[in-house]
């Protein structure tokens, strides 16, 4: 078996080393870290690393001295500089010594992952290493690993990346399907659009990312064979592969689609289970009353599908038992044409009565409805006219003063994104200061604000070539900025505008996910 690629982190801050270990171990790297530059240099000269992440400012030996000594031994290994104080002299020296790129502290998981992927894309593995690591032919992973965020799914692969896709309803009825895939290198965020699918003459449906990360591959054959998205959405219809960046944090928002398949006919049960698994479901087949009774002890998050043909006259009675034992369980009855017992079934508590849904692929639509997440009721919004918001400020739990400055017309106190951000911050028990009016987003004023804060986020509606509601984060300052300048505290959050150039037209789910990511930025710094 081929070894995982090695990654070395040399930084005198233990928190940076541990953060990189957490991020890149999940992505399939063997990560080694050290806070001692001299120890790191000795390792770098003795071992073969796929890439080295190197801090500039360290005691005893700085990053420039490290690079000078390393290049005498190994002129080829890629080096990514990580620094809190980018400057022209350091940048020039690092690039002269073969550093590939740099990221500034504090960095996000997405920023450091994207930088590493960008460097590795320009530095192919040596031929012998690439041959040793050549993967086996791709296989569809075990369906028990498929997890859903609403209609979007992901499955962890052996190399630590996540294969992502979507199970959409209605595609089996479309005479044509058009698909827009994300770009390689694009950062996607859980709940925000990563792809779009247009079925027939209907407007495109935005596909949310099921998990955050950096896109490292896309299914290039899918636009030429779009029917795979309907017939095999969790197999050949996959959309992209992503290096996950917030796996542990976001996993709690995802869930499997677990189906109790009640079918007394082994042959048809096998066929139905195969189709359900192709749609990403975990299937437990129950062929007799005792098995059904035992399964009813744990039904949380599950959907029950009962094959009426295989149960004959005893089917309605069995549904009655299921209703009494598990009144909250969603029951789907699958029947044949002109079934005599339809009325008897409809007198019971059932979620849906379907006629041969496996034959015409209606089962995908039924699953979408049965597993639809029930959103909690929204709190009543304040009555009266709303007003624009120029800034939202908090002091987070790290004691840092963080201020969000908004472009004209983007945030409103009692509605839309501004209202949701405010409510989510209050729910986290932060003291929130909201300043009404239009923000003055001149460079001078933004720098002045940054001088009085620990972090400034500038929210803009700006075209980045993404789908509406997509988010592009920019925090790398220009090298022309002197070390320690307030500009290093500024991060721009550029939201892809809607059709009319703003964000008011974004759907509620996208807007809520966008608010979550902005709040996380403010709270986690």
CATH value at residue 69: 3.40.50.2300
3-state secondary structure 153-188: EEEECCCCCEEEEECCCCHHHCCCEEEECCCCCCEE
Q: Are residues 88 and 22 in the same domain?
A: yes
Relative to beta strand 257-262, strand 281-286 is parallel
User: Tokens 């900025």, residue?
Assistant: 481
Specify the higher pLDDT residue, 167 or 137: 167
pLDDT score of 47 more than 80: yes
> What pLDDT was estimated at residue 392?
97
Q: Confirm whether 139 is domain-assigned.
A: no
> What pLDDT was estimated at residue 136?
38
Q: Confirm whether 223 is domain-assigned.
A: yes
- Hey, what are 515's tokens? 């608010």
Chosen domain end from 69, 101, 119:
119
> What pLDDT was estimated at residue 124?
66
Give the CATH number of the domain where residue 502 resides.
3.40.50
pLDDT tens per residue, range 470-492: 999 987 654 334 445 677 788 99
* Cα(309)–Cα(227) distance, integer angstroms: 30
Q: Confirm whether 285 is domain-assigned.
A: yes
Give the CATH number of the domain where residue 177 resides.
2.40.50.100
**The domain containing residue 519 runs over which residues?**
389-524
**Helix orientation angle between 508-524 and 416-427, rounded to the nearest 10 degrees:** 50
Q: Are residues 399 and 506 in the same domain?
A: yes
> What pLDDT was estimated at residue 481?
42
Q: Confirm whether 304 is domain-assigned.
A: yes
Half-sphere exposure of residue 330: CA atoms within 13 angstroms, side-chain side: 18
Distance in angstroms between the alpha carbons of the first and the last residue of the chain = 40
pLDDT tens per residue, range 325-360: 999 999 999 999 877 899 999 999 999 999 999 988
> What pLDDT was estimated at residue 95?
66
Q: Are residues 57 and 29 in the same domain?
A: yes
Instruction: Phi first, then psi: give them for residue 366, nearest 5 degrees.
Output: -65, -45
Q: Are residues 189 and 205 in the same domain?
A: yes
Q: Are residues 165 and 240 in the same domain?
A: yes
Contact 430, 403 (CB under 8 A): no
Q: Mention every residue, 6+ apart, whose C-beta is less than 8 A from residue 85.
A: 56, 57, 483, 484, 488
Q: Confirm whether 182 is domain-assigned.
A: yes
Q: Are residues 236 and 264 in the same domain?
A: no
pLDDT tens per residue, range 26-40: 888 999 999 999 999
User: Tokens 């086996």, residue?
Assistant: 136
Look at 96-110, 150-164, 454-468, 469-483 and tell me which has the smallest mean pLDDT.
Answer: 469-483
Q: Are residues 367 and 477 in the same domain?
A: no
> What pLDDT was estimated at residue 84?
74
Instruction: Phi first, then psi: give them for residue 8, nearest 5 degrees.
Output: -110, 130
pLDDT tens per residue, range 73-129: 998 899 998 877 655 456 566 666 678 888 888 788 888 998 999 898 877 665 444
> What pLDDT was estimated at residue 125?
63
> What pLDDT was estimated at residue 294?
96
Give the mean pLDDT of 444-450.
Answer: 89
- Residue positions counted in the chain: 525
Chosen domain end from 315, 344, 371:
371
Over pLDDT 90: what percentage of the chain?
67
Q: Confirm whether 69 is domain-assigned.
A: yes
> What pLDDT was estimated at residue 378?
67
* Cα(34)–Cα(32) distance, integer angstroms: 7
Q: How many domains does the chain have?
A: 4
Q: Are residues 240 and 263 in the same domain?
A: no
- CA-closest candidate to residue 149, choices 266, 63, 250, 70: 250
* Cα(488)–Cα(162) distance, integer angstroms: 32
* Cα(461)–Cα(500) distance, integer angstroms: 11
Give the mean pLDDT of 419-442.
Answer: 93
Give the mean pLDDT of 404-416.
Answer: 94
pLDDT score of 199 more than 60: yes
> What pLDDT was estimated at residue 131?
44
Q: How confident is residue 373, by pLDDT bands cut at 50, 70 and 90?
A: confident
Q: Are residues 184 and 248 in the same domain?
A: yes
Q: Confirm whether 227 is domain-assigned.
A: yes
Q: Are residues 31 and 45 in the same domain?
A: yes
Task: Share the mean pLDDT of the chain.
Answer: 88
Q: Are residues 266 and 230 in the same domain?
A: no
* Cα(471)–Cα(466) distance, integer angstroms: 8
pLDDT tens per residue, range 258-271: 999 999 999 999 99
Chosen domain end from 252, 286, 305:
252
Q: Confirm whether 133 is domain-assigned.
A: no
Q: What per-residue string of b and e applies to 333-347 under the rule 16 or more CB within 10 Å gives b?
A: bbbeeebebbebbee
Contact 171, 230 (CB under 8 A): yes
Q: How confident is residue 211, by pLDDT bands cut at 50, 70 and 90?
A: very high
Q: How confident is residue 63, by pLDDT bands cut at 50, 70 and 90?
A: confident
Contact 190, 149 (CB under 8 A): yes
Q: Are residues 210 and 246 in the same domain?
A: yes
């Amino acid at each position: 078996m081929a070894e995982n690629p090695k990654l070395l982190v040399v930084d005198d801050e233990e928190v940076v080393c541990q953060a990189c270990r957490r991020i890149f171990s999940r992505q399939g790297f063997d990560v080694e870290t050290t806070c001692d530059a001299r120890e790191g240099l000795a390792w770098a000269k003795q071992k073969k690393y796929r890439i080295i992440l190197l801090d500039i400012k360290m005691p005893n030996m700085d990053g420039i001295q490290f690079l000078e000594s390393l290049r005498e031994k190994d002129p080829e290994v890629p080096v990514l500089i990580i620094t809190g104080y980018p400057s022209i002299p350091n940048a020039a020296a690092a690039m002269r010594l073969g550093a590939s790129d740099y990221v500034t502290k504090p960095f996000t998981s997405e920023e450091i992952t994207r930088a590493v992927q960008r460097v590795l894309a320009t530095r192919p593995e040596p031929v012998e290493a690439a041959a040793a690591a050549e993967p086996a032919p791709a296989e569809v992973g075990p369906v028990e690993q498929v997890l859903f965020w609403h209609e979007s799914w992901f499955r962890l692969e052996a190399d630590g990346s996540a294969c992502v896709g979507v199970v959409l309803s209605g595609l089996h009825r479309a005479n044509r399907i058009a698909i827009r895939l994300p770009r390689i290198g694009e950062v996607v965020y859980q709940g925000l659009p990563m792809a779009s699918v247009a079925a027939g003459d209907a407007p495109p449906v935005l596909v949310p990312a099921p998990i955050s990360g950096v896109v490292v591959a896309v299914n290039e054959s899918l636009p030429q064979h779009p029917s795979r998205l309907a017939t095999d959405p969790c197999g050949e219809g996959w959309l992209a592969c992503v290096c996950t960046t917030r796996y542990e944090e976001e996993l709690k928002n995802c869930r499997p689609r677990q189906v109790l398949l009640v079918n007394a006919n082994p042959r048809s049960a096998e066929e139905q289970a195969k189709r359900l698994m192709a749609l990403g479901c975990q299937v437990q087949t129950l062929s007799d009353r005792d098995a059904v009774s035992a399964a009813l002890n744990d039904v949380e998050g599950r959907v029950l599908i009962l094959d009426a043909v295989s149960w004959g006259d005893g089917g309605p009675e069995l549904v009655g038992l299921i209703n009494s034992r598990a009144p909250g369980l969603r029951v789907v009855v699958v029947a044949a044409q002109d079934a005599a017992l339809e009325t008897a079934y409809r007198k019971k508590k059932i979620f849906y009565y379907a006629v041969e849904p496996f034959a015409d692929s209606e089962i995908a639509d039924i699953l979408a409805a049965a597993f639809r997440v029930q959103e909690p009721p929204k709190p009543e919004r304040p009555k009266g006219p709303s007003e624009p918001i120029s800034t939202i400020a908090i002091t987070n739990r790290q004691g840092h003063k963080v201020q969000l400055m908004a472009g004209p017309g983007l945030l409103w106190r009692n509605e839309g994104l501004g209202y949701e951000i405010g409510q989510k911050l209050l729910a986290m028990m932060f003291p929130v200061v909201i300043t009404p009016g239009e923000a003055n987003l001149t460079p001078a004023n933004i720098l002045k604000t940054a001088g009085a804060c620990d972090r400034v986020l500038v929210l803009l509606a700006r075209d980045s070539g993404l789908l509406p509601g997509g988010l592009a984060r920019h925090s790398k300052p220009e090298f022309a900025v002197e070390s320690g300048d307030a500009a290093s505290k500024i991060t721009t959050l550029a939201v892809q505008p809607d059709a009319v150039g703003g964000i008011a037209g974004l759907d509620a789910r996208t807007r809520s996910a966008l608010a979550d990511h902005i709040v996380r930025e403010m709270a986690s710094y």
